[in-house]
Amino acid sequence: MSPDTQTRIRRGTGTPLLRDGDLPPTEHFIGGVFRAGASGETFDVVDPSTGETIARTPRGTAADVDEAVAVARGALPGWAALTPRDRAGVLLAVADRIEENRDLFERLEAANTGKPAAVTEDDITSTIDSFRFMAGAARAITSEAAGNYAADHLSVILREPLGVIGVVTPWNYPLLMGVWKIAPILAAGNTLVVKPSEQTPLTTLKLAELTADLLPAGVLNVVTAWAPWSARACRTTRTST
């Protein structure tokens, strides 16, 4: 390409995708409620098809992550103590809730990522399927049965949750790639803190909003943040578990 060549960007001019009430609360989601960030600073969330700012979310800090981890640790014993059947039931209810709000999730994902409707439809379908698949997987663990595999020694395999898991998700498949992590983590009895991309956090926040009555408080937490401190956040989370 010649140095003199100018790049031209064509912006969308069609009907706006979002309606009143579509956006989630634009705060961190910690302990089952939305909370303002510790820093008080925000960053813009932009619709790439129009270049317009559609929301502002908190610029998270390590202090926000530490708070979310502490809450997730508090919620861990109760969630981990549930039977696979009970956790599977919650995941199926989450899948149904997304299904009930499919159109909303598709439009919100399209507005935040700039993807066409056909692509976001597939993303949300796969999101729903991922929760349902993991609900079944939670109840279908196969392993050797307990027994005497050595003389006079009873062998038992005991599976226990790892604890609090830190998750960082990318901008290009915000909800789907988030759920690829969220669903198995929850199915296994862990709790988690999710840091979605600072560019595309909206469907993750919407998931937290619409499932707050299904998941026990503190099991799923969302902290929005800038990428430069995400590595520190992960180290903080891992150390705290």
DSSP string, 120-136: HHHHHHHHHHHHHHHHH
20 band by pLDDT with thresholds 50, 70 and 90:
confident
What CATH number should be reported for the domain holding residue 233? 3.40.605.10
| 9 in Cβ contact with 48 (< 8 Å) | no
**Residue 10 within a domain:** no
List the one residue out of 150, 187, 146, 181 whose CA is nearest residue 166: 181
Distance CA 233, CA 236 (A): 5
**Residue 202 within a domain:** yes
**Residue 104 within a domain:** yes
pLDDT in tens, 144-181: 677 888 888 888 888 889 999 999 999 999 999 999 99
Distance CA 154, CA 107 (A): 55
Q: How many domains does the chain have?
A: 1
List the one residue out of 10, 28, 50, 30 whose CA is nearest residue 192: 30
How high does pLDDT run on average in the chain?
88
Residue labelled with tokens 């027994």: 147
- Going by C-beta distance under 8 Å and a sequence separation of 6 or more, which residues neighbour residue 30? 64, 67, 68, 71, 218, 221, 222, 223
> What is the pLDDT averaged over residues 92-108?
97
Question: pTM for the full model?
Answer: 0.86
> What is the pLDDT averaged over residues 14-32?
88
**Residue 90 within a domain:** yes
Give the tokens for residue 104: 């909303």
**Residue 3 within a domain:** no
List the one residue out of 173, 197, 192 whose CA is nearest residue 182: 192
| 75 in Cβ contact with 129 (< 8 Å) | no
Range of the domain at 204: 28-140+163-240
**Residue 115 within a domain:** yes
